[in-house]
Structure 1
Amino acid sequence: MAATRYSGIRARDTDRADVCGLLDAALTDGQLTEEEHAARTAQAMRAKSFGELDDIFGDLQIPDDLVDAPVVRVDRRRPRRWLAPLAVVVAAAVAGAVVGGITRGVADSPKLPGLPGARGHSEPSEHVPMLTTGAGLGYFIAEYRAEFGDTKADEVTLYPEYVLVTRPARDNPAATARYHYDGNFDKSTTTPGRKPDVRTLDLATMDVPALAGLLAGAAQTTKVQGGTVTHAAAEFDSSATAGAGPVFRMHTTNQAGASGSLIVSFAGEPLRVNVTTG
């Protein structure tokens, strides 16, 4: 592809998100296979310039809502037939920024008397926030650190009123334990013979304010009108490329039966939006 005077301009996170939106729409529209989509999305997240981004989406049609985005060059506009769902993710994140702003101190602070997460291990809490919100996520991370002395886990699934955790057993690192949290941590099962190559994630690496905004805007992002987040999971994506980091997956639904999911990195970078009508 011939270079243009725009090729060397440095790309922003919003430009990468626009291209990911184009790729998601192209996958839905049948222009890309699953393998092509995965490969191009990985390229887009690593791209440093407009030139690199141009090479990723140059053969794709451009949706109406992205035709004037900086990443789309005027001389490259093409027929347009669909919308890119990831294009609304950034705007949705802004909606919850205030909620997220109050959680970083909770997640990062030491356990001092009077702060959320400061209670003793056996003392029940009567003020656990809804756990599928930014405030609830920050509160849980603080509670988790107070309970286990670290923030490592295999997988964490948050529901509005409780959390399920899989991690190495406290009394036997060679076993896997499953815990239920609803203000207290209760161990439900322990499985021996834990494999040494089990990948663990670190909850402390989550950008809680960014994720709080995405949680607040998840129903809007997934186009589930009047919906709520039914559950959210911190996990490794089994379909991702080898070496990919953990993701935060948010699931939404409403009373009409519509549902969707938003998948982002721990830093809040949008990876994929799935929408299912009821």
Structure 2
Amino acid sequence: MPNSRRPRTPTSRLRARDVERDAVRDVLDAAYSDGQLTDVEHRNRTEATRSARTLADLDRLVRDLQVAPDLRDAMPTPPPSRDTRWAVALSAAVVLVCGIVVVTSARDNDEPATAAAATTTELTTAAGFGRMLDEIARQLHDSQVDQLTVYPEYATFSRQVPGKPGLAQRYEYRVGKGQAQLTENGTSSNRTEGVPVDLAELRPNVPRVIGLLHGADRTLRVDDPTRIFLDAKRGDDGPVVSIHLWNEDAGTQGFLTVGFDGAVRSVYRADQ
């Protein structure tokens, strides 16, 4: 449903808080995942949330986005004295994120995948990344891994072989024809004990990490990256996700690290 109602009160001139900027990023992530925004549009709008000063500034970033028809009834009606467009956008963020959770919860109960879930093939989107974490937990019965490396089309990870602390089982994850495919890919005997991280701690902050990824070309000064990947593992200060970008034609590269709590830990730009 288009966010077509226009603000009628001075509420839109109120200063924006970080919690509202985060909510708008959630809306943008969901819109990018379901095809409303292109990659460039998503990156530009996500970057614009950082400099947004008022609710009106944030409103301009989401006013043309739509909510799926089957979710209309779930949206609350905002009181007349508030910025109605902002309320609709915020409600859309909550409902769309909840919709993703409903899809993955249905899969946990071995119900058929929905059409929306079938399109989440790109792992470097909030929906695709979140679905992958849910599938790992569902199929392997926990979220413990030694290291997880995520590319747009597939991911690889390793974890301890049960009862054999020095032996690691390697896996590959892909989505083919709408179905999540998790396959074993051999074992390794050089596993270091005590290195696992729990991806369940990362799951609530997936939209934040993906938002950082889609603004990383500007943050890291890597224009038009030709290669990207994310790496989740235990760092010196606890579990972190490293976001790596390369432009192989220009010979530039950079990366940043973010904790499983969503806080940026370090930034290494291409021009440093």
Q: Could you tell me whether the CA contact under 8 Å between 1:177 and 1:187 is conserved in 2?
A: yes
Aligned to 2:183: 186
- Indicate the SS of the match to 2:208: helix
- Report whether the alignment pairs 1:245 with 2:242: no
1:61-118 per-residue CA deviation (whole Å, 9 max, x = no partner) reads xxxxxxxxxxxxxxxxxxxxxxxxxxx89839x99999997557646876315x9996
- Report whether the alignment pairs 1:150 with 2:147: no
Deviation at 1:266, TM superposition (A): 1.1
Aligned to 1:266: 260
**Which whole-Å CA distance do the structure 2 matches of 1:163 and 1:269 have between them?**
23
**Which whole-Å CA distance do the structure 1 matches of 2:123 and 2:104 have between them?**
20
User: How many residue pairs were aligned?
Assistant: 180
Q: Percent identity?
A: 28
**TM-score between both structures, scaled by the size of structure 2:** 0.54
Q: Please, which runs of 5 or more residues in structure 2 have no aligned partner?
A: 1-16, 19-46, 52-57, 63-88, 176-180
Q: Could you tell me whether the CA contact under 8 Å between 2:219 and 2:269 is conserved in 1?
A: no
Q: Could you tell me whether the CA contact under 8 Å between 1:156 and 1:234 is conserved in 2?
A: yes
Aligned to 1:91: 50
Change (3 A) 1:225 1:191: closer
Aligned to 1:198: 194
Q: Could you tell me whether the CA contact under 8 Å between 1:108 and 1:142 is conserved in 2?
A: no
**Which whole-Å CA distance do the structure 2 matches of 1:138 and 1:103 have between them?**
10
- Report whether the alignment pairs 1:131 with 2:123: yes
Q: Which amino acid is the alignment partner of residue 125 of structure 2?
A: T
- Report whether the alignment pairs 1:176 with 2:168: yes
Q: Could you tell me whether the CA contact under 8 Å between 2:143 and 2:200 is conserved in 1?
A: yes
Among residues 204, 212, 215, which one is paired with 1:214 in the alignment? 212
Deviation at 1:253, TM superposition (A): 2.1
Q: Could you tell me whether the CA contact under 8 Å between 1:107 and 1:204 is conserved in 2?
A: no
Q: Which amino acid is the alignment partner of residue 132 of structure 1?
A: T
- Indicate the SS of the match to 2:269: strand
Q: Could you tell me whether the CA contact under 8 Å between 1:159 and 1:231 is conserved in 2?
A: yes
Q: Which amino acid is the alignment partner of residue 146 of structure 1?
A: R
Change (3 A) 1:249 1:100: farther
Task: Name the Cα RMSD after superposition.
Answer: 4.0
1:169-213 per-residue CA deviation (whole Å, 9 max, x = no partner) reads 2x6554310111113111112135855x42211111111121121
**Which whole-Å CA distance do the structure 1 matches of 2:151 and 2:109 have between them?**
19
Q: Could you tell me whether the CA contact under 8 Å between 2:221 and 2:270 is conserved in 1?
A: no
Among residues 148, 151, 155, which one is paired with 1:159 in the alignment? 151
**Which whole-Å CA distance do the structure 2 matches of 1:116 and 1:251 have between them?**
35
Q: Could you tell me whether the CA contact under 8 Å between 1:201 and 1:235 is conserved in 2?
A: yes
Q: Please, which runs of 5 or more residues in structure 1 have no aligned partner?
A: 1-11, 14-87
Q: Could you tell me whether the CA contact under 8 Å between 2:240 and 2:259 is conserved in 1?
A: yes
**TM-score between both structures, scaled by the size of structure 1:** 0.53
Q: Could you tell me whether the CA contact under 8 Å between 2:150 and 2:156 is conserved in 1?
A: yes
Change (3 A) 1:173 1:110: farther
**Which whole-Å CA distance do the structure 1 matches of 2:110 and 2:260 have between them?**
21
Q: Could you tell me whether the CA contact under 8 Å between 1:89 and 1:214 is conserved in 2?
A: no
Deviation at 1:160, TM superposition (A): 0.9
**Which whole-Å CA distance do the structure 1 matches of 2:172 and 2:267 have between them?**
28
Q: Could you tell me whether the CA contact under 8 Å between 1:132 and 1:159 is conserved in 2?
A: yes
Structure with the bigger percentage of helix: 2
Deviation at 1:154, TM superposition (A): 0.8
Q: Which amino acid is the alignment partner of residue 216 of structure 2?
A: A
